């Protein structure tokens, strides 16, 4: 029996990296999955899963697209139980004063507004299902500072604050809202192929565990927060970072 048997999940950024790994794992655990992405790669992820998945082209910064992906879950599979707000952008390594205004706007629109819109439109559907789980991808840099990452860190810190406040508002409805704070994960942002098929490089990096994390390790954290194993957990920002935040 899978941990998500009978559940319906929407995963954004499902075309690659952590989103793709999560979509595959959620399906392995019995979920029906809406694979949402703006890249076009969502089709490949849904095809790999099979009949228990559909692909939805969605730009999470657009309210209409977010509404459509939630509606697709309910229309196709009859309900919504889990939203994983995973889609996000990395920022350039520059001082805030040198960050282009268009870059600032895009970081905010995807990393923070996209998460807010996901919550806004998922909550009524989760309420109709009797509750559920919202998980969002924040970042270790939403918890601690790092040089030349002020703009990116601000959007991810916003996800942490949004998570905690929304969790307080909706805990009584059995809607649990948590976020994951990844550290240095081997995704496309770190040079990995989009399909996640290459092994994580065996080289030391400056975190206590001295290695990259894998997309699968983020997916297992998301699975924990999505399923009943975490039934009394809400409002948590969970570092999955090899000890980065602890230093």
Residue with tokens 């809400």: 234
Beta bridge partners of 133: 82, 176
Each residue of 63-90: pLDDT tens digit? 999 999 999 999 999 999 999 999 999 9
pLDDT at 187: 78
CB-based burial label for 198 (10 Å; 0-12, 13-18, 19+): exposed
Which one from 121, 152, 186, 212 is the annotated catalytic residue?
A: 152
Quick one: CATH architecture of 8-240?
3-Layer(aba) Sandwich (3.40)
152 an active-site residue? yes
Asked whether the beta carbons of 16 and 194 are under 8 A apart, the reply is: yes
Asked whether the beta carbons of 133 and 235 are under 8 A apart, the reply is: no
pLDDT at 217: 96
Whether the pLDDT of residue 197 is over 70: the answer is: no
Please tell me the pTM assigned to this model. 0.95
Beta bridge partners of 238: 180
Q: H or E segment at 200?
A: none
Residues for the chain: how many in total?
247
Q: Is 3 helix (H, G, I), strand (E, B) or coil?
A: coil
**DSSP 8-state class, residue 176:** E
């Amino acid at each position: 029996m899978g941990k998500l048997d009978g559940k319906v999940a929407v995963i954004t950024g499902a075309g690659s990296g952590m989103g793709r790994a999560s979509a595959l794992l959620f399906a392995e655990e019995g979920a029906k999955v809406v694979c949402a992405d703006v890249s076009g790669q969502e089709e490949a992820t849904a095809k790999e899963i099979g009949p228990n998945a559909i692909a939805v082209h969605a730009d999470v910064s657009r309210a209409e697209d977010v509404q459509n992906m939630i509606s697709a879950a309910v229309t196709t599979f009859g309900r919504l139980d889990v939203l994983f707000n995973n889609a996000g952008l990395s920022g350039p390594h520059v001082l805030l004063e040198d960050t282009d205004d268009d870059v600032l706007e895009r970081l905010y629109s995807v990393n923070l507004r996209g998460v807010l819109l996901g919550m806004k439109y998922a909550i009524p559907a989760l309420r109709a299902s009797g509750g559920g789980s919202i998980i969002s991808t924040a970042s270790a840099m939403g918890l601690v500072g790092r040089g030349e990452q002020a703009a990116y860190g601000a959007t991810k810190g916003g996800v942490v604050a949004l998570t905690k406040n929304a969790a307080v508002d909706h805990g009584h409805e059995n809607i649990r809202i948590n976020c994951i704070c990844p550290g240095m994960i081997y995704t496309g942002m770190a040079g990995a192929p989009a399909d996640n098929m290459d092994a994580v490089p065996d080289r030391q990096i400056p975190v206590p565990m001295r290695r990259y994390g894998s997309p699968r390790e983020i997916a297992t954290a998301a699975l924990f927060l999505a399923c009943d194993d975490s039934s009394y957990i809400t409002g948590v920002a969970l570092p999955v970072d090899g000890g980065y935040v602890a230093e």
